[in-house]
Amino acid sequence: MTGLIIFVIFLIIVLLVLASCIKIVPQASALIVERLGAYKGTWGVGIHFKVPFIERVAKRVNLKEQVVDFPPQPVITKDNVTMRIDTVVFFQITDPKLYAYGVENPIMAIENLSATTLRNIIGDMELDETLTSREVINTKMRASLDEATDPWGIKVNRVELKNIIPPEAIQDAMEKQMKAERERRESILIAEGEKRSTILVAEGKKESAILEAEAEKQAAILRAEAQKERMIREAEGQAEAIMKVQQANADGIRSIKEAGADEAVLTLKSLEAFTKAANGQSTKIIIPSQIQGLAGLATSLKEIVADAPKE
């Protein structure tokens, strides 16, 4: 009975040992295996078996990209301004063997290396340049860290400056400068708005004056055309009346000639015409030389002069 118990216990121990020798490596991971203290190999994704008591898993390595946020580091600029800058480093393990045997504490090594590299870069830059050159600083730090960590099996993908914290006095001066700049921009915007408003009002008045002048011009043109048409109609009426009078005279003369009137009748008609002319306000009449020698002209003239009003 005792022997059976011992056998069962031995069997359980053997099974436990065998189970411990079976290793399953998940995705994005690697295992560093040593045999009798020496590096034997790197196990990738899948199931693996190790020799009990001879081989052991020395280190489990994460192959995913990792992010480390380092605390703020004091740095001094070229113009002797002390500030604090904290960085964020994105890195990935590319060689598990070098990562396991390259450096004792890789994260601490990267932190110290980033601090010294940052001090070297900021030491060659002035304060204003530091505040406006984040991308330049990030690029220089990434190149320097990637080169330094390559023997450790680490690739630095990206370095970002998380915060740049200048001294309080510098912050106060920067805030005052920013406030003055905002007030200046506000004044410029107000002045531009007022200028634009004045220009629009002036343009409106100008367009209104132009429209009024154009309307007055059109009205004057219309009035002139109407007056011109009226004068044309009056002239046409007068011309038509004159034509009718002349036509009537011509018809009368033609009728007299056709009736065979003698010289005495023609003389009588002429005297009637002068009599009508003497009925006006004028006291002077002109007698053609052709009828001055007619008989009885003096008597008719006396009657005409007697009937005409005096001046």
Q: Is residue 294 part of a domain?
A: no
Q: What percent of the chain has pLDDT over 70?
A: 80
d(CA 190, CA 196): 10
Q: Do 128 and 50 fall within a single domain?
A: no
pLDDT score recorded for residue 156 = 93
d(CA 153, CA 173): 45
Q: Do 87 and 153 fall within a single domain?
A: yes
DSSP lists the bridge partners of residue 79 as: none
Q: Is residue 146 part of a domain?
A: yes
Q: Do 116 and 147 fall within a single domain?
A: yes
List the end-to-end C-alpha distance of the chain, in Å, as a whole number.
184
Residue 305 — very low, low, confident or very high, per pLDDT cuts 50/70/90?
very low
Residue 133 — very low, low, confident or very high, per pLDDT cuts 50/70/90?
confident
Q: Is residue 225 part of a domain?
A: no
* pTM reported for the whole predicted model: 0.54
pLDDT score recorded for residue 311 = 41
Instruction: Taking the CA atoms of 183, 184, 190 and 193 in sequence, report the sign of the dihedral they define.
Output: negative
* Residue in 130, 145, 121 with CA at minimum distance from that of residue 70: 145
Residue after which a domain boundary falls, among 166, 182, 204 = 166
Q: Do 71 and 115 fall within a single domain?
A: yes
Q: Which residues of 52-86 are buried (b: 16+ CB within 10 A; e: fewer)?
A: eeebeebeebebeeeeeebeebebebeeebebebb
Would the pLDDT of 221 be above 70?
yes
Instruction: Report the domain count for the chain.
Output: 2
User: For 158-172, 203-217, 240-254, which range has the lowest pLDDT when averaged over its residues?
Assistant: 240-254
- 8 A C-beta contact, residue 156 and residue 108: no
> How many alpha carbons lie under 13 Å from residue 180 in its C-beta half-sphere?
6
Helix (H, G, I), strand (E, B) or coil at 259: helix
Span 151-161, average pLDDT: 92
pLDDT score recorded for residue 273 = 52
Residue after which a domain boundary falls, among 166, 187, 214 = 166
121: left (phi over 0), alpha (psi -120 to 50) or beta: alpha
Q: Do 134 and 42 fall within a single domain?
A: no
Q: Do 31 and 107 fall within a single domain?
A: no
What is the domain range of residue 36?
Answer: 16-62
Would the pLDDT of 184 be above 50?
yes
Higher pLDDT, 286 or 127: 127
The C-alpha R_g of the chain, in whole angstroms, comes to 63
- 8 A C-beta contact, residue 164 and residue 137: no
Q: Is residue 114 part of a domain?
A: yes
Residue after which a domain boundary falls, among 166, 191, 224 = 166
Q: Is residue 55 part of a domain?
A: yes
Helix (H, G, I), strand (E, B) or coil at 38: strand
Q: How is 162-182 classified by DSSP, letter by letter?
A: EEEE--HHHHHHHHHHHHHHH
Burial class (CB in 10 A: 0-12, 13-18, 19+), 16: exposed
How does pLDDT run across 29-70, given as a tens digit for each residue?
999 999 988 899 999 898 988 888 888 888 999 999 999 998
Q: Is residue 123 part of a domain?
A: yes
Dig out the tokens for 134 from the structure.
């984040």
d(CA 45, CA 34): 18
d(CA 147, CA 271): 140
Q: Is residue 265 part of a domain?
A: no
- 8 A C-beta contact, residue 170 and residue 127: yes
User: Residue 83 belongs to a domain with what CATH number?
Assistant: 3.30.479.30
